[in-house]
Structure 1
Amino acid sequence: MTRTQRLLTLLQILKENRYPITAEVLADKLQISVRSIYRDIESLRNQGAEITGEAGIGYQLKSGLLLPPLTFDINELEALILGLRWVESNTDKELSHSALRAINKINTVITTQHQTLLEQNTLFVPTNRIIEIDHTIAKDMRFSLREEKKAKIDYKDAQKQLSTRIIWPIAVGYFQDSQVIAAWCELRQSYRHFRLDRIISYEVLSDNLPYPKNYLLSRWKKEILKEAPDKN
């Protein structure tokens, strides 16, 4: 078994166990030394796996996304890096830092030849923000969308009228001059779009969305974008 195969097997064992598993048990399953398990755990952590625990207690893989080893051609790498550079330069701090970490992770697993090509890359994205972003609001907005939570916002419209709304977040659009959240508005009883730069405050509520986000998104596409329902 190669070390790459061993790391993937170790990862799979951790995924299948709901409770911490000791290094001794892992070593027995993989027929290697406990010291090798310690090194392998550290290697997986360096590659982005969120593994909790320590020697003598046991290890557990927390839920999250971890991609297996992938191969990219140079066009795919350029597309990935270009997109991540855009995110790094044009979104809130948390998402920007995540994009930079993703770039660094990609650089650690690609070949030296591809690293050289990327270092000499001549594809660029704008680095100057056109609008100021409230990073806390942007972060909370994405959190409520991901966790499917209602939100309470204070919003100032184009006529400078201030209102308080309870919204059901559906999608966020990133445009050249603004970020816009699409949501069902309880006040207006219809779908509305809210510009990030006009949101005065954004409070994530404990209430879950009354319908699955995918259902609300499909209704929004049908009613607002006038898309035909997907028949697949």
Structure 2
Amino acid sequence: MRRAERLFQIIQILRRGRAPVTADALAQELETSKRSIYRDIAALVGQRAPIRGEAGVGYILEDGYDMPPLMLTPDEIEAAVLGAQWVAGRGDPALARAANDLIAKIAEAVPDNLRPMVLEPAGRAPPAWQNAPDNIDMVQVRSAIHGGRKIKLAYNDEQGRPSDRVIWPITVGYMETKRLLIGWCELRKDFRSFRTDRVAEAWFLDDRFPERPGVLRARWRREMDERHAAWRRGES
């Protein structure tokens, strides 16, 4: 790996880290020596990169530092295109259009020698089966999730039984042939998943729910992890 590329990768590793990253960890990921890492960090600091470090703790990149956004490696291009292909085949229409636009923008922005990796990638996401239709505006759903606002649903379960629910939406699950709206259900006092094709009607409320969406998502993930662990142990 050339030194210029290694400097860029150090910034990327520090940017994605939520905790200080040690010189040992940097050297291992970049397959180089700690001595080289020390020199590279010194060079980046000399170029005014806001890197702070403490002996025995590691390095962090302070907020607000920016680099040219499309200095992408070949592997990053392949990853972005593969992910966009998956979304184009399985996302709701607005996200599918955005995914195709993203691929086109990447193709225009990368250097000529990397363009074949966008237009003729080594991997390709498999085509989706026929998706179940959404009976709810997914653009408004995503807006409600970001804004922490409640949604009222008229919903039919798998037996066709109707119910009215007020939920605190936290995320959308993209399955192979259907999408799930996941949130805290005020009726059941628990997290529930609602298939978007089974929604009879939806009202997007101005009411904000009392907890931040990120906090609720973390709770939901912990509960899912605990259920999966119990299932693997054979517990009911």
For this structure pair, what is the TM-score category when the shorter chain's length is used for normalisation? 0.5 to 0.7
- 1:161: Cα distance to partner? 0.4
- 1:190: Cα distance to partner? 1.5
Change (3 A) 1:203 1:126: farther
Change (3 A) 1:68 1:209: farther
C-alpha distance in 1, partners of 2:147/2:225?
A: 24
C-alpha distance in 2, partners of 1:135/1:88?
A: 19
Are 2:149 and 1:145 aligned?
no
Question: Which ranges in structure 1 are unaligned for 5 or more consecutive residues?
Answer: 1-65, 228-232
Contact 1:184 1:192 in 2 (8 A): yes
- 1:117: Cα distance to partner? 3.4
C-alpha distance in 1, partners of 2:91/2:67?
A: 24
Change (3 A) 1:128 1:190: closer
Question: Which ranges in structure 2 are unaligned for 5 or more consecutive residues?
Answer: 1-65, 228-236
- 1:202: Cα distance to partner? 2.2
Contact 2:148 2:213 in 1 (8 A): yes
Q: Aligned-pair RMSD on alpha carbons?
A: 2.2
- 1:130: Cα distance to partner? 2.7
TM-score, length-normalised on structure 2? Answer: 0.62
- 1:151: Cα distance to partner? 0.2
* Matched residue, 1:100: 100
* Matched residue, 1:161: 161
* Matched residue, 2:211: 211
C-alpha distance in 2, partners of 1:69/1:190?
A: 40
* Matched residue, 1:45: none
* Matched residue, 2:183: 183
- 1:222: Cα distance to partner? 3.0
Deviation per residue, 1:160-195 (Å, 9 max, x gap):
101111000012111113211221111112211111
| 3-state SS of 2:145 partner | helix
TM-score, length-normalised on structure 1? Answer: 0.63
Q: What is the identity percentage for the equivalent residue pairs of Structure 1 and Structure 2?
A: 31
- 1:133: Cα distance to partner? 2.5
C-alpha distance in 1, partners of 2:119/2:192?
A: 43
Residue type of the alignment partner of 1:75: D
1:1-232 aligned within 5 A: 68-134=68-134, 136-226=136-226
Figure out how many residues of one structure are paired with residues of the other and give that number. Answer: 162
